[in-house]
């Protein structure tokens, strides 16, 4: 059967692409970024949204194995993560990035390259993060076994005007998750729909 002129029209002209967004969680190691990102992803998935978690620690084991922790390597790490996040965001995915990303300039560059971007500062004092220390990062840094650790012998530049601050030393995980979910829904649905999940 011959194709008609109407049936050969590109499908993408009639399909609506859902709005994507990158949620960039920044904070010291052990502040709770990965836990928060994964829990938020599960909540958003329950609301029918497409989500993807980009955890910097996981990416360093695969895509970014060639990078260390110098400033140049950290900046390159953020550029690569931002590139992936941008591709997914453009295709309607809510991307949850969990990365220390200690330098403001690198985070600002990520924001500019992605566009649909919100920054969440996962804040906890260094002393609290050192008490948590789930993988022994701080212990090894204090013992001189590791170098270039943000907050110890390298700087961490906290966001000046993040879209959201989650104080994980003061809030429960449920409280922090609710704040992030509300932020995401406001950005992708508009303020009038944020409180009405489908």
Query: Mind telling me the catalytic residues?
Result: 101
Q: What sign results for the dihedral spanned by CA atoms 84, 85, 90, 94?
A: positive
d(CA 190, CA 115): 17
Q: Which long-range contacts (CB under 8 A, 24 or more apart) does 8-12 make?
A: none
């Amino acid at each position: 059967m011959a194709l008609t002129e109407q049936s050969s029209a590109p499908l993408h002209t009639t399909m609506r692409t859902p709005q994507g967004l990158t949620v960039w969680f920044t904070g010291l190691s052990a502040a709770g970024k990965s836990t928060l990102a994964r829990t938020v992803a599960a909540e958003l998935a329950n609301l029918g949204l497409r989500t993807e978690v980009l955890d910097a620690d996981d990416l360093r084991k695969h895509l970014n194995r060639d990078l260390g922790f110098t400033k140049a390597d950290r900046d390159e790490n953020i550029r690569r993560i931002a590139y992936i996040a941008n591709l997914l965001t453009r295709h309607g995915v809510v991307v949850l990035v969990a990365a220390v990303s200690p330098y403001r300039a690198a985070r600002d560059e990520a924001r500019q390259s992605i566009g649909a971007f919100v920054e969440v500062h996962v804040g906890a004092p260094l002393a609290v993060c050192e008490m948590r220390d789930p993988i022994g990062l701080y212990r090894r840094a204090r013992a001189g076994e590791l170098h270039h650790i943000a907050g110890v012998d390298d700087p961490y530049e906290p966001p000046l005007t993040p879209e959201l601050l989650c104080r994980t030393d003061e809030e429960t995980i449920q409280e922090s998750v609710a704040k992030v979910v509300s932020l995401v829904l406001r950005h992708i649905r508009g303020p009038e729909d944020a409180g009405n999940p489908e």
